[in-house]
Amino acid sequence: MEKNQLYPVFLKVTALETLIVGGGNVALEKLSFLLKSSPDAKVTMISPFFREETIAKANEGKVKMVVGNYDSSLLEGKHIVIATTDVPSVNMQVYNDCKARAILVNLADNPPYCDFYMGGIVTKGNVKIGISTNGKSPTMAKRLRQFFESVLPENIDDLAEYLNKYRDTIKGDFEEKVERMNEFTKGLVEDVKKKINK
């Protein structure tokens, strides 16, 4: 059986510069996903044209829109690049330019040419769960997201805040704190299992 070898991380995209190459439906989808997760993400978009819906979405966040064609000079200062054009040669040029500069790149709907995937995300306050199918099935990631949204209690963020305050009161070294927190939160897993099995 194939194993998902992706390493999950949560990026502070408010501190990173993201470039989206393209202005069509796929660009709108990627921009929407990014802004839903991080409304203050720093994003630049380059395209000869932008759909009205994309312009409206961009105006919701801190998105700089550049009308024109892709040029490698746009990569200056960028950390993450997402290529969404319907011109394969342009997407491959973006990919090659990014690889030459050690910039993380994603060619939309082209898993072999992706350093990262944009999976399903469940967010409830400070609690965020990322879901990956290793690029195999975005639909499955979507269904899993819906499942977790339905089983996680609405007050889970209150619990996270409470546990954060409790952690600050625990005395001892790091290992002792981890052990105490593990013991204190053991019942949470059992509660979620009971809810799922109802």
Tell whether 103 and 123 lie within a shared domain.
no
Tell whether 21 and 34 lie within a shared domain.
yes
Tell whether 21 and 99 lie within a shared domain.
yes
Tell whether 60 and 142 lie within a shared domain.
no
pLDDT single digits (tens) 165-184:
877 888 878 888 788 878 77
Whole-prediction pTM: 0.82
Region 17-44 average pLDDT:
94
Q: Report helix angle 138-151 to 174-197, nearest 10.
A: 90
Q: pLDDT above 70 covers what percent of the chain?
A: 95
Answer whether residue 4 is part of any domain: no
Q: Which helix (H) or strand (E) holds 178?
A: helix 174-197
Checking if the pLDDT of 192 tops 90, the result is no
Tell whether 36 and 77 lie within a shared domain.
yes
Domain carrying residue 111: 17-118
Tell whether 67 and 87 lie within a shared domain.
yes
- Angstrom distances, CA of residue 70 to CA of 28, 45, 160: 17, 10, 43
What is d(CA 170, CA 179) in angstroms, rounded to the nearest whole number? 11
Could you tell me the pLDDT band of residue 191, with boundaries at 50, 70 and 90? low
Tell whether 69 and 103 lie within a shared domain.
yes
Domain count, the chain: 3
Tell whether 101 and 125 lie within a shared domain.
no
Region 65-79 average pLDDT:
97
- Angstrom distances, CA of residue 19 to CA of 47, 64, 65, 131, 176: 11, 9, 10, 23, 43
Region 107-129 average pLDDT:
88
What is d(CA 123, CA 182) in angstroms, rounded to the nearest whole number? 23
Tell whether 32 and 99 lie within a shared domain.
yes
Answer whether residue 2 is part of any domain: no
Answer whether residue 11 is part of any domain: no
CATH number where 94 lies? 3.40.50.720
Answer whether residue 9 is part of any domain: no
What is d(CA 122, CA 165) in angstroms, rounded to the nearest whole number? 23
- What is the pLDDT, as a whole number, of residue 73? 97
